[in-house]
Amino acid sequence: MPSDKGDKADKGVEAVKRFIQENNIEEVECLVPDMAGIARGKILPASKFLRGMAETGLRIPEQIFIQTVTGDYPDDEAGTDPAAGDVYLNPDPESIRIVPWYEEPTAQIIADAYHLEDETPVEIASRRVLGRILDLYAERGWKPIVAPELEFYLVEVNTDADYPLIPPIGRNGRRETSRQAYGVDAVNEFDPLFEEVYDFCEAQGIEVDTLTHEAGAAQMEMNFNHGEPMDLADQTFLFKRTVREAGHRHKVYATFMAKPMEGEPGSSMHIHQSIVDAKTGKNLFADKKTEENTPLFLAYIAGLQKYLPAVMPLMAPNVNSYRRLRPGADAPINTHWALDNRTVGLRVPFSSAQARRVENRVAGADANPYLAIAATLACGYLGMTEELEPTRPIEGSAYRLAHTLPRTLYDALYKMNGSRSMKQVLGEDFVAAVTAVKNDELDAYQRVISSWEREHLLLNV
pTM for this model (two decimals): 0.95
Percent of the chain exceeding pLDDT 70 equals 96
What per-residue confidence (pLDDT) applies to 85? Answer: 84
Q: What is the mean pLDDT of the chain?
A: 94
When pLDDT is cut at 50, 70 and 90, the band that residue 177 belongs to is confident
Per-residue pLDDT at 82 exceeds 80: no
**Average pLDDT of the residues in 104-110:** 97
Q: What is the pLDDT of residue 2?
A: 43
d(CA 271, CA 341) in angstroms, rounded, equals 15
Using an 8 Å Cβ cutoff, are 113 and 56 in contact?
Answer: no
Give residue 22's Cα distance to chain centre: 32
pLDDT, tens digit, 9 for 90 and up, residues 400-442: 999 999 999 999 999 999 999 999 999 999 999 999 999 999 9
Question: If phi over 0 gives left and psi between -120 and 50 gives alpha, with beta otherwise, what is residue 43?
Answer: beta
Give me the pLDDT at residue 142, please.
98
Predicted confidence (pLDDT) per residue in 182-203, tens digit: 889 899 999 999 999 999 999 9
Burial class of 457 by CB neighbour count within 10 A (0 to 12, 13 to 18, 19+): exposed
In terms of DSSP bridges, do strands 219-224 and 142-156 run parallel, antiparallel, or are they unpaired?
antiparallel
- Dist. CA 439–CA 216, nearest whole Å: 31
Nearest to 347 by CA among 333, 334, 361: 361
User: What pLDDT does residue 8 have?
Assistant: 66
Altogether, the residues listed in the chain come to a count of 461
Name the CATH superfamily for 4-122.
Glutamine synthetase, N-terminal domain (3.10.20.70)
* pLDDT of 7 strictly over 70: no
CATH superfamily of the 134-426 domain: Glutamine synthetase/guanido kinase, catalytic domain (3.30.590.10)
Nearest to 427 by CA among 88, 78, 89, 116: 78
Instruction: Compute the distance between CA of residue 242 and CA of residue 232 in angstroms, rounded to an integer.
Output: 15
d(CA 273, CA 143): 11
Q: Which helix (H) or strand (E) holds 56?
A: none
Specify burial of residue 275 (Cβ count, 10 A radius: 0-12, 13-18, 19+).
Answer: buried
> Which of 340-361 are b and which e, b meaning 16 or more Cβ less than 10 Å from the residue's Cβ?
ebebbbbbbeebebeebbbbbb
Question: How does pLDDT run across 324-356, given as a tens digit for each residue?
Answer: 999 888 899 999 999 999 999 999 999 999 999
User: For residue 383, how many other CB atoms are within 10 A of its CB?
Assistant: 24
Does residue 147 carry a pLDDT above 90? yes
- How far apart are alpha carbons 106 and 102 in whole angstroms? 7
In the predicted model, is pLDDT for residue 80 greater than 70? no
Nearest-angstrom CA–CA distance, 433 and 78: 5
| CA within 13 Å, CB half, 114 | 16
Q: How far is CA 76 from CA 116, 219, 408, 447, in A?
A: 23, 38, 21, 19
Residue 328: what pLDDT? Answer: 80
Give domain limits for the chain: 4-122, 134-426
